[in-house]
Amino acid sequence: MIIPVFIICGIFTLIGGWVLRATKEDVQTAKASKLWPFIFGRIIDVDVHKQRTKSTSSKQQYVYKIRVRYEYIVDGVKYTSNKLNLSQVATSNKRKVDAHALELISKDSIEVFYDPENPEFAILETGISSGIKFMLFCGATFFLAGIIPPLLIILNQINT
């Protein structure tokens, strides 16, 4: 009975560790992005992408995500990008997404933060995004779900 628990927990630990390790580079890039230089660019296009979610209820549910395209010039070279931030997540809060899209489209110019080592890579919002936070939460949850039960079993056996 204890062996299957340890196997399942081992799988959870491996999945959690893999997600945390995969997210590590995103976290490092997000932290570095706060120090990236910025220049002013121009919005080419902004729209709100609507996507139906898979739901167990009969009611259709949707999530929304901003799709943006902008251009900017670094050292005389014109670039085009479509990254809002490092890990954009869709949300069911259409009002919030619409307001953010309207804010972007209404600006004459926008701050574009670019990687000084690779100016082709640019974003409009620096720092750790909600998508990265979500991945960290999921990875930590799986990792802890894999570690805690075996520890409790071992502690319980030591105390008996």
> What are the Cα distances from residue 44, in Å, to 4, 76, 108, 122, 159?
55, 19, 11, 15, 66
Residue tagged 């990687």 (tokens):
115
Tokens of 45: 């296009």
Give the phi and the psi of residue 115 in degrees, each rounded to 5. Answer: -70, 120
Q: State the pLDDT at residue 78.
A: 98
Calculate the CA dihedral of residues 13, 19, 22, 24 and round it to 10 degrees: -90
Q: What percent of the chain has pLDDT over 90?
A: 61
Q: How many CB atoms lie within 10 A of CB 112?
A: 24
8-28 pLDDT, tens digit per residue, is: 989 999 999 999 998 898 899
Q: What is the value of pTM for the model shown?
A: 0.75
